[in-house]
Amino acid sequence: MTPVLEASHLSVTLTVGKKRKQLVKDSSFAVYPGECLGILGESGSGKSMTVKSMLGLLDQHFSITGKALFYGKDLLQEKRETLRAMRGKDITMVLQNPMTCFDPLYRIGNQMAETFAAHTNWSPQKIQEESLVILERMQIQNPKEALQKYPHQLSGGMLQRIMIGLAVALKPKLLIADEPTTAIDAITQKEILDAFLEIKQEHQTAMIFITHDLGAIAKVADRLLVMNQGEIVDEGTYSHILHHAQDRYTKLLIEKRQAVMGRYQQVLGGMI
């Protein structure tokens, strides 16, 4: 089976003046059709950097080496315009801070419409209809009104769902979620996770799910990478990693998680 995305020996180096800092070190991994790959790692470990570098989202201060094959074509060799046309259509992303990801000066409807206009030749009516379909699918109440709202008038959870809706609207081949639950309260987190599970079951879209929350990743990811300081330190299924973690950092994460779970069960047990 050919992977949807295959990174081989991917390295990202940041050069500021004479200082060079390697942010991603010789990473190799693959995502297969219908699979959800989880990337786990603490803040600053280079998770976002890894995906941003492949999508051409970094400026010229970052130099990237290695390969990022998307259905066999190396994204790192593509022209900027080709990459732009792929982003938002073939490869889409959901970001961490829904509240700051929309331009505060334009209505939601306008920002959804400009996304469709960049990738399709739909008429304004068709764009309007599709936008409403997305909002309905993402269970936004009063979709017509929501289109007329400015970002600051909607909640973080609603904006996050709109972002997810936009990310799946054009039937992408790869969906990347970069800590989609970190900036949201616990109840909304569950809804957002469910939305991803649904996408996975209904459309079999290949996914990369980035997080530093072991609980979230256990639910959606089929396979895990653990990153620490720019390096991939562990790889395998959730239960494999749970029992055969090689890396000190991974073990630490698991211990912490088990401690929390233990206390949780104690409390629950005490209540019953």
Ligand X SMILES: Nc1ncnc2c1ncn2[C@@H]1O[C@H](COP(=O)(O)OP(=O)(O)OP(=O)(O)O)[C@@H](O)[C@H]1O
Binding site for Mg ion (CB under 5 A): 48
DSSP alpha helix (H) spans, 71-120? 80-86, 98-101, 108-119
Per CB under 8 A, residues contacting another protein are 55, 57, 84-89, 92-93, 95, 97, 100-107, 114-115, 118-119, 150, 152-153, 163, 166
R_g of the chain, CA atoms, integer Å:
19
Q: Which stretch binds ligand X (CB under 6 A): 38-46, 67-75, 128-136, 149-157?
A: 38-46
Q: Which is nearer to ligand X, 44 or 262 (CB)?
A: 44
Q: Which is nearer to ligand X, 26 or 130 (CB)?
A: 26
Structure tokens belonging to residue 236 = 């395998």
Query: C-beta of 43: minimal distance to Mg ion in Å?
Result: 7
> For residue 71, how far is the Cα from the chain centroid?
19
Residue 243 binding: pick among another protein, Mg ion, ligand X, none (C-beta 5-8 Å cut-off by kind)? none
Q: Are strands 91-94 and 73-74 parallel, antiparallel or unpaired?
A: unpaired
Binding mask 164-193 for ligand X (x = CB under 6 A): ---------------x--------------
Q: Per rule CB under 6 A, is residue 89 in the interface with ligand X?
A: no
Q: Which is nearer to Mg ion, 48 or 250 (CB)?
A: 48
| Candidate residues 29, 37, 47, 226; the one interacting with ligand X per rule CB under 6 A | 47
DSSP 147-211: HTS-GGGS-HHHHHHHHHHHHHHT--SEEEEESTTTTS-HHHHHHHHHHHHHHHHHH--EEEEEE
Q: Per rule CB under 6 A, is residue 14 in the interface with ligand X?
A: yes
Core vs surface per residue 19-30: b (16+ CB within 10 A) or e: eeeebbbebebb
Binding mask 208-247 for ligand X (x = CB under 6 A): ----x-----------------------------------
Phi-psi region of 78 (alpha: psi -120 to 50; beta: other; left: phi over 0): beta
Q: Which stretch binds ligand X (CB under 6 A): 3-11, 36-44, 198-206, 262-270?
A: 36-44
Residue 257 binding: pick among Mg ion, another protein, ligand X, none (C-beta 5-8 Å cut-off by kind)? none
State the SS3 of 2-25: CCCEEEEEEEEEEEECCEEEEEEE
Q: Are strands 91-94 and 174-178 parallel, antiparallel or unpaired?
A: parallel
Q: Per rule CB under 6 A, is residue 113 in the interface with ligand X?
A: no
Distance CA 87, CA 94 (A): 12
Q: Per rule CB under 6 A, is residue 98 in the interface with ligand X?
A: no
Applying CB under 6 A, the residues found at the interface with ligand X are 14, 23, 41, 43-49, 179, 212
